[in-house]
Amino acid sequence: MSRASLSQRDTRVHTSLERLLALKDVARQLEFPLLTRRSGGIPGCQSGRLRGRGLDFEQIRHYQHGDDVRRMDWRATVRTRSPQVRLYAEERDRPVLLAVDQRMSMFFGSQHNMKSVTAAEAAAATAWHAIDAGDRIGGIIFDDADVLELRPARGERSVVRLLASLVEYGSRLHAARPAIAGRMPLATPLAAIAQLPRHDHVVVVISDFDGIDSRATVLIRQIRARNDMMFMLVRDPMAQNLPSNDVLVASDGVSQLNLDFRDPDIRDALSNYARARLEHVLDWGQGLGVPVLELSTGEETVMQLRMSSLAAGDYRRLRRA
């Protein structure tokens, strides 16, 4: 069966544009900690958490790359002998940038969705929510070969452009895909974000966070210094609940490995590794001061987002710093 017919048959393996477009109405029922809804969806009618040029003075701090030079406080600069800027509580729209992982590590799912599909659905719901709130929406979509940048823009056309790109990247994922020499580290798309001269954005990274390292940590700190951030950690329940009586075959497209889960030593070793990796990602985000929302491929994506919305103020599935 061709990849195209597989995509049409089962959107849990390869999502479709129709499926992502259909999440528009559902998104209105959602709430995110960094995307507070506005009345009427009129840009600028909400007093946001972001700091910028506005009416209410907040503080003076050291100048950072990307700051508006019009905010320079020259008296404080002369007094401290270092560049200082004045920060205000700003009332305006907030550009939202979605960094969505579509690497081969995301082409896995043991129950309901592939991780790549869950990531695309979460991105679609977030994008529709942001546009409905009056924000601009943009994206960084990446696989193991390249990084696509879509600059934030207003209107539903910007969402459709993002969703069509997600469908295209997701359609490239299949078991027979030729192996790529060296997987793309998470630091590569993060570097693309950090190098852009932007600030006061909301950056949402949707990934399984495979391949985090010290460089990724440095880049997250750089991005977070100028923007609000949120992680959506996509995980598969099999990582925590391994089968006890099966023999599975794992492959990276080149090598193949038989995993006998009837052997308690193999099962326990893999289970411990999976739990340790999950905790590492959660602790990593918490240590960086970034909220982490867990999304399981074993459940409906929208239902999980809705449940986190119903827990507004507490966010049972959200680990705050």
Which tens digits make up the pLDDT trace of 12-54?
A: 899 999 999 999 988 877 776 556 544 333 333 333 444 444 4
Q: What is the mean pLDDT of residues 237-260?
A: 63
- In the structure, what pLDDT confidence band is assigned to residue 216 with cuts at 50, 70 and 90? very high
Give the pLDDT score at 109: 83
- Dist. CA 86–CA 55, nearest whole Å: 11
What is the signed CA dihedral for 131, 310, 295, 142, rounded to 10 degrees? 10
**How do the domains of the chain map onto residue ranges?**
3-41+94-319, 51-89
- In the structure, what pLDDT confidence band is assigned to residue 303 with cuts at 50, 70 and 90? confident
Give the pLDDT score at 245: 64
41-48, long-range: CB within 8 Å, 24+ apart, which pairs? 41/132, 41/133, 41/134, 42/134, 43/92, 43/93, 43/134, 43/135, 44/91, 44/92, 44/93, 44/134, 45/91, 45/134, 46/91, 47/89, 47/91, 48/89, 48/90, 48/91, 48/92, 48/94
Give the pLDDT score at 28: 76
Confidence check: pLDDT of 317 > 70: no
Give the pLDDT score at 62: 85
Q: Are strands 137-142 and 56-62 parallel, antiparallel or unpaired?
A: unpaired
Q: What is the mean pLDDT of residues 218-242?
A: 87
Give the pLDDT score at 42: 34
pTM above 0.85, yes or no: no
Burial group, residue 117, by CB count within 10 angstroms (0-12, 13-18, 19+): buried
High-pLDDT (> 90) share of the chain, %? 39
Give the pLDDT score at 115: 95
Average pLDDT, the chain: 79
Residues contacting 138, CB < 8 A, separation 6+: 95, 96, 97, 98, 149, 150, 151, 152, 153, 158, 162
Residue, of 161 and 256, whose pLDDT is higher: 161
> Comparing 9-13, 113-117, 165-169, 171-175, which segment has the lowest mean pLDDT?
9-13
Confidence check: pLDDT of 308 > 90: no
In terms of Cα–Cα distance, which of 151, 195, 169, 197 is closest to 107?
A: 169
Confidence check: pLDDT of 243 > 70: no
Confidence check: pLDDT of 171 > 90: yes
Q: What is the CATH number of domain 3-41+94-319?
A: 3.40.50.410
